[in-house]
Structure 1
Amino acid sequence: MNSPPDAPVRADRPLQGIAWMVAGVFLLSVMDALSKHAVSQLSIPVLIAARSAMVLVLLGPWVLRSGGWSALGTRRPWAHGVRGLFAVCSMLAFFESLRLLPLATVIAISFAAPLFMTLLSVPLLKERVGAHRWGALLAGFVGVGLIVGPQAMDGDLGLGAGLALLASLFYAASMTCVRWLSPTESDLSMMVWQNLMMGLAGLLGLLFVPLEAPPGMWPIIALMAVLVLLGQRCTFRALRLAPVGVVAPFHYSELLWAALFGWVFWHEWPGAHVWWGALFVVGAGLYTTWRERARTLVAL
């Protein structure tokens, strides 16, 4: 009997999984670079409304193939609303931080999101965090402190760094809600409701700013929508083909792409403190991934 098209693929193709993860991270890195360019040309409400609308258009065929509006039915609309609110706040803070900081610095700070997810999993999901994960969490936040350290030493944390940290916190809350919703909600449903919420937030923002954009920006926004969907598809595929512990470390290659794009297009290069801080944050993430994989193997 043939497996259904969405059946999980056995996790026994590590090289293919790594290739898909590298491709996905590259696509998402290009999307982040385009976002930095876009926020210099557009108001953030225009960008959010337009990108969300284009993502929903691209998701349309998937919705129709899955049964139309019936595929989006939910008994937990309020939970989707909470998650959508977190996603909107994360996107607002992330886009504004891109105006103020080098791309690589924003990406390095954004690696704090898994640390916040670990913290939030205790009160929200009632998960148990052992001593090893608490130690990794502490090391990770030391790294965040190193990244924002120069501004903090001057007595000014900096609006850009604060917004990037806030974006990471709200993103972590949104992703924690994904785990909370996943037993009853499909990936498609969560993606559609999130983008609907973001689109509505963008439209609300348009009450206060004009709907103005240089003509050349519309193709760029459309490309951003395509890249975010393709990037997510690649990373989902990677996680089907190989264990998380094998492919997750390659997510951190996003910092290298961000540094390269920042240097080429904006003549930005992160200071040594950013690289040292990122080393702590990435190390904490890798150690946590390794510990989780080891615990899973022991349980088996």
Structure 2
Amino acid sequence: MNPSSAAPVRADHPLKGIAWMVAGVFLLSVMDALSKHAVSQLSIPVLIAARSAMVLVLLAPWVLSNGGWSALRTRRPWAHGVRGLFAVCSMLSFFESLRLLPLATVIAISFAAPLFMTLLSVPLLKERVGVHRWGALLAGFVGVSLIVGPQAIDGELGLGAGLALMAAFFYAASMTCVRWLSPTESDLSMLVWQNLTMGLAGAVGLFFVPLEVAPGMWPIISLMAVLALLGQRCTFRALRLAPVGVVAPFHYGELLFAALFGWVFWREWPGAHVWWGALFVVGAGLYTLWRERARTLVSG
């Protein structure tokens, strides 16, 4: 059975699901740490073009095993293009914010993405958001304000925090488009078209920056691409093995990994305001998960 055509297999193995989620979050955290190093050595268009090309190379066997280009046919090319542009904007903002802020602070701010997804689901997907989710949304943005507030008041954090928030917003827009596209498009199709769009955007950027890549950076870029795909597959596996409400909270462990990597490699450690703000943001996310689970049980 082809991976892209296989129906989702639902199971209830919470410990296995948690283990897969922790593994996925760890791999993605390592990728983020490598990204922080890469942006200090490369221009961002070069990094985006190179990483996207590597991801496409890794996806090629999957495409071939599913019928080649026929597996990528779509009736909605413009929708894929819009989603790809959102992903490009998210990656540009995220990489640039890594130049300016500690890794853990960027990750903490990026937890605002689910809050933005709730906001965007109203106009884009016509979903109804009740008072509980609006309350969680407000609490989450209070947390973001706590994270960015002290330095923003002093004028030290404004640009970096703004870029990190932009990255979270455009990531949320891209993920909202996944839900919009999912009734007609496969996971494989969305992955390939997204990385094609990002690669093209990076290639256009190469006209404006020097194409300089030290030989030692190619293994790092390749490793980033491998980690991105492996991390995503681990999180997908976790969601097949256990309910969302069981495994999703472990995604917030990314902040702990980011803090650890930031301290080990850059001697960065988040201030108390970052941890307090993250507590509000994570709490809002967990409350939303709990409410959705309770609502599903009642309606079921």
TM range (shorter): over 0.9
Match status 1:142 vs 2:135: no
Percent identity of equivalent pairs: 89
Name the TM-score, length of structure 2 as normaliser: 0.98
Is the Cα–Cα contact under 8 Å of residues 27 and 231 in structure 2 kept in the other structure?
yes
**How do 1:75-224 residues align onto structure 2 when only pairs under 5 Å count?**
75-154=75-154, 158-224=158-224
CA contact (8 A) 2:2 2:66 kept: no
Q: Cα distance, 1:10 vs. partner? A: 2.6
1:230 alignment partner, SS class: helix
Which residue identity lines up with residue 240 of structure 2 in the other structure? R
Corresponding residue for 1:60?
60
Shift of 1:210: 1.1
Q: Distance in 2 between matches of 1:207 and 1:9?
A: 46
Q: Cα deviations across residues 239-269 of structure 1 (Å, max 9, x unaligned)?
A: 0000000000000000000000000000000
Q: Matched residues in 2 for 1:19 and 1:97: separation?
A: 30
Bigger shift: residues 255-264 or 287-296? 287-296
Moved over 2 A (4+): 3-11, 151-157
Alpha-carbon deviation of 1:155?
5.3
Amino acid at match of 2:133: R
Structure 2 Cα separation of the partners of residues 178 and 288 of structure 1 = 20
Gap change, CA 1:226 and 1:241, over 3 Å in 2 = same
2:269 is matched with 269
Q: Which residue of 1 aligns with 2:258?
A: 258
Shift of 1:154: 2.6
Root-mean-square deviation (CA, aligned residues, Å) is 1.1
For residue 4 of structure 1, report the CA deviation from its aligned partner.
7.2
Q: Distance in 1 between matches of 2:228 and 2:246?
A: 22
- Could you tell me which runs of 5 or more consecutive residues in structure 2 were left unpaired when the two chains were aligned: none
Instruction: Map 1:214-253; keep pairs closer than 5 Å.
Output: 214-253=214-253
Residue 74 (structure 1) aligns with? 74
Q: How many residues align?
A: 298
Structure 1, residues 181-200: CA drift from partner, whole Å, max 9, x if none? 00000000000000000000
By how many angstroms is 1:107 displaced?
0.1
1:88-108 deviations in Å (ceiling 9; x for gaps): 000000000000000000000
